[in-house]
Amino acid sequence: MNSTYRDIFKWGDKREEKVDKGTLKVVKEKLNFSDSDLAERYLTGEMEVTIEKPVGIDKTLLERFASIVGADNVKTDDYSRASYAYGKFYAELVNLRMEYIPSPPDAVISPRTTEEIIEIVKLCNEYGIAITPCGGLSSVTRGVETPKGGISLDLTAHLNKVINLNTVNATVTVQSGMFGPAFENYLNSVGFTCGHFPQSFEYSTVGGWFAAKGAGQASTGYGKIEHMVLAIKVVTPSGVIETKCFPASAQGWDLHLIFAGSEGTLGVITEITMKVRRYMPENTQYASFAFKNFESAVNAMRTVMQSGVGLPHLFRISDPEETEIAFKTKGFDGTFADWFLRIMGYKSGSRCLMFMGVDGSKAYAKQVKKSVKAICRKNGSFFIGASPTLKWLEQRYSSAYLRDPLMDIGIMTDTIETAVMWDNLVNVWNSARNYLKHRPKTVVMSHISHVYENGANLYFTFLSPMEKGNELNDYAQFHKGLVDTINASGGSLSHHHGVGRSLAPWMETQLGVYSLNLMQAIKNHLDPKGIMNPGDTLGLKP
Ligand SMILES: Cc1cc2nc3c(=O)[nH]c(=O)nc-3n(C[C@H](O)[C@H](O)[C@H](O)COP(=O)(O)OP(=O)(O)OC[C@H]3O[C@@H](n4cnc5c(N)ncnc54)[C@H](O)[C@@H]3O)c2cc1C
């Protein structure tokens, strides 16, 4: 039975994953870890959870909640409250490892119907109780914290079903608390795919995808989540908003898009209608390429996106350091393939890998792959077959399990991501890397994984020894410097992780005061008492 802090912070199915041999080699070489450093276990959080802060909602009100959703669906025990206190932001994981939960929710409530949510929101609005809507709690931006206590509204326990599939329109209406695998398995069984596969796919929900404005690993072909959603139903403190489903319209603003990226600050999204695409995995074509340097790979990628040859659905470039680490951790270093690439001029330290996959009809997929190959060849690439891409696909969800064992041995491991226009991409990549690399013993792996005609995202993963005894301050300063650097060089605050509370301090600089005021005015209209995910989410005030 789960009962410790460790049970809460561990990723996914909570299994105890070990750091693989290849990664250990990198940690020894690049971070200077000795065998005794590797044997140490740091801040493992194995104590039983206890919460000191008493439940701040009085008994009579809790009974009223119970009368709405049933007593079994109102939880106030320590473990339930602790489980909903944090998401998966690096500093949150450190807090849990330190067994520190100063501000848990007062209760976790799992409604069974939209009607019950309407009643809960009404009651909370009357009594000024904070509501934090929760999906899979995989937020990496402090989006599900509860600084004002109140209730965490768990949408996953009951509101997790498909409501309607329309095969003529190719749309599906789904309850917001449905997790990725259940949703996709259902769609596959009726010949469709949702096309949205974030790395957190297995443990995140349709509602969380839309509320945090996410992007899946196949977004280059299928689009970001806000491009896939056609209509929503949302319960706000001012009333229920239900938008209608049209392929497009010109009846003023697309109101459902106000809620894309709203991160629980405007209301509880209960239903979502999404486009679905034909599921034809047998037609998918894959290809992988080696490039001599990052710039030529980026140039090839941009050319593909701008030359009208069709769209790969999966399109990625790993920069030289990420490529080097991939070679080391996957056991390619020193192999014949490695040697061959080197003598062909694809040298470690500057070479880059590109992965590509394209869905669609057989003819379309083949044609796009052929065109991509031709463009890549013109940019000096070497075609290395399908298998590197297929190998990457095999581990695309399981690599998330590496973070916990790395933190166990005292390694700060985090990611940050941004969106940039093509003409500024290499500059932002260089600026962020230079900043990260000024910290001694820091591995920085970067990739591009969501690609558009006019630009792409940049995603940085960094590993560095924790400053033991000062982990949180050290991280906060390092993270601040990184966000400042990306902002100053012209990258967006976020491409798909959202803003939450961790990036909220930059919202005014990024958007400008008038734009933020507009968001605030919408918030004030829908949530006049400021009960929805309060405490600075998105930089909004109560
Ligand atoms: C290992 C890992 C890998 C990740 N990879 C990706 C990736 O590839 N792409 C990507 O986009 N993101 C990624 N993320 C970030 C995260 O998974 C996404 O933001 C995801 O969309 C959150 O979904 P969730 O169901 O977990 O939402 P939660 O974390 O529970 O909530 C996220 C935010 O949305 C709000 N919210 C949730 N549900 C609702 C609702 N029904 N109504 C109103 N508000 C709601 C919450 O209040 C919160 O502010 C990753 C995270 C981790 C830990």
Domain containing residue 97: CATH number: 3.30.43.10
**What tokens appear for 415 in the block?**
């990611």
User: Which of the residues in the chain have pLDDT under 70?
Assistant: none
Do 223 and 349 share a structural domain?
A: no
Do 333 and 309 share a structural domain?
A: yes
Do 295 and 349 share a structural domain?
A: yes
Do 57 and 108 share a structural domain?
A: yes
**Residue 2: what pLDDT?**
82
**Residue nearest atom 33 in ligand 1 by C-alpha distance:** 263
Residue 532 belongs to domain spanning: 506-539
**Residue 1: what pLDDT?**
77
In sequence order, which residues have a C-beta less than 8 Å from that of residue 247 and are 6 or more positions away?
Answer: 230
**How much is the pTM?**
0.98
Q: Are 375 and 303 in contact (CB under 8 A)?
A: yes
Ligand 1 pocket, mutate which of 139, 234, 404, 526 (most atoms under 8 A from CB): 139
Do 241 and 114 share a structural domain?
A: no
Nearest by Cα to 69 from 119, 107, 32, 104: 119
Distance of CA 300 to the CA centre of its chain: 26
Nearest by Cα to 205 from 316, 65, 87: 87
Do 429 and 391 share a structural domain?
A: no
Q: Are 353 and 317 in contact (CB under 8 A)?
A: yes
Residues, the chain: 542
**Residue nearest atom 5 in ligand 1 by C-alpha distance:** 199
**Residue 542: what pLDDT?**
77
Do 375 and 487 share a structural domain?
A: no
Domain count, the chain: 5
Do 218 and 147 share a structural domain?
A: no
In this structure, is residue 425 part of a structural domain?
yes
- The CATH number of the domain holding residue 266 is 3.30.465.10
**Residue 332: what pLDDT?**
86
Do 338 and 309 share a structural domain?
A: yes
**Residue nearest atom 8 in ligand 1 by C-alpha distance:** 198
**Residue 324: what pLDDT?**
96
Distance 9 CA to ligand 1 centre (A): 15
Among the three residues 396, 414, 438, which one is the final residue of a domain in this structure? 396
Pocket, ligand 1, Cβ cutoff 6 A: 87-88, 132-140, 143-144, 155, 176, 198-200, 204-205, 207-209, 211-212, 214-215, 263-264, 268-269, 400, 496-498, 533
Q: How far apart are CA 255 and CA 158, in angstroms?
A: 26
In this structure, is residue 29 part of a structural domain?
no
* Separation in Å, CA 117 to CA 65, 177, 244, 302: 10, 13, 20, 45
In the three-class reduction of DSSP (H, G, I as helix; E, B as strand; rest coil), residue 226 is classed as helix
